[in-house]
Chain A
């Protein structure tokens, strides 16, 4: 099994998937190795909690690897993985309404009470070690601006400009019309430009 490892690292996704379907455990590990960072990064930026992101990433890979038999090779493997990862993150956000956890309160909150209730109360509770890590890792202005975007804008902008996926691929992953994906991405860019405009002014 160890002998096949160097071959696997240079093989295409489709070849690795075929090897995994043949029962090669090293091929399963190779698929995890290839996608653990992008999948974890995407989910982490979506949910902004390291422990949770790791759980959801695990869930994603377990789903992917246990369903390899149903994977259709005519689709890009990466698209399939990101689709499952995004669904896991969005499902979680919907379930727990974590998207309301922003420094300014929920973007959907329409009253002062709701805004206060959904805002992160800094200093109110002792910061856990994991929160501290997340704050350090995702604490830059741009990360915070991304966090304030609507979840669907966030997914689109991360997939397009952080993961470098094509518009068409994102549309396929998210089951959205191409025009909608373009609109989401351009609106997200507009919001980010506005949110970060003061940095540019400060540079001058």
Chain B
């Protein structure tokens, strides 16, 4: 004779029993199985007892004590937020309007840009000339100019500068190499 396994109520079945939505099959099992019936009734009694547990109230003045330590955000903050939104919106509007205007006035815009570029170029050239004039008017300029006037001396100065640069780079690299000595254990 084949013995089918007994399917006792699962946790989900118990929930279904409490919400009166137990399947017909499980209801049939419940009628036949004293163990499951006892479990379901005990569970229901437990849930009833839990639902009847009282809720507790904090001591009087609880809300006042909370409010004393809460920063109520004033409506002004909200107004400030709206001001920021309005500022951002006007900025976007301004950018949009300027793009629109430049699309319809390309000729005028290009002439302005050309004028501005020419003015900037003139200004830069003037700056270079002022700098060069200042340099040639310095008292030491004559000596320097004589010193580099012959190609041999120029090569010597260049060579010395190159050696100095190489020595500086070598020293810097030595300084940046991490120490190969072990670090003492800090016992962390």
Contact = CB atoms under 8 A, between A and B. Distances in A.
B92 to A, nearest CB: 24
Contacts of B74: 23
Contact of B71 (A21, A54, A66): A66
A4 to B, nearest CB: 13
Contacts, number: 96
A136 to B, nearest CB: 11
A57 B58 contact: yes
A193 interface: yes
Residue among A23, A25, A38, A143 facing the most chain B CB atoms (10 A cut-off): A23
A203 to B, nearest CB: 10
Given A23-B78, A189-B43, A143 B53 contact: yes
A38 B55 contact: yes
B128 interface: no
A79 interface: no
Main secondary structure of the interface of A (DSSP, over half): helix
B137 to A, nearest CB: 65
A186 B56 contact: no
Interface residues of A, number: 41
B183 interface: no
A23 B69 contact: no
A200 B74 CA distance: 57
Interface stretch (A26-34, A83-91, A111-119, A121-129): A26-34
Contact of B75 (A22, A33, A162): A22
Interface in B40-96: 42-43, 45-47, 49-51, 53-59, 62-63, 65-67, 69-78
B75 to A, nearest CB: 4
Contact of B46 (A38, A137, A143, A192): A192
B57 A36 contact: yes
13 contacts: A22-B78, A23-B74, A37-B58, A53-B58, A58-B66, A62-B70, A65-B70, A66-B71, A69-B73, A157-B50, A182-B12, A196-B49, A197-B42
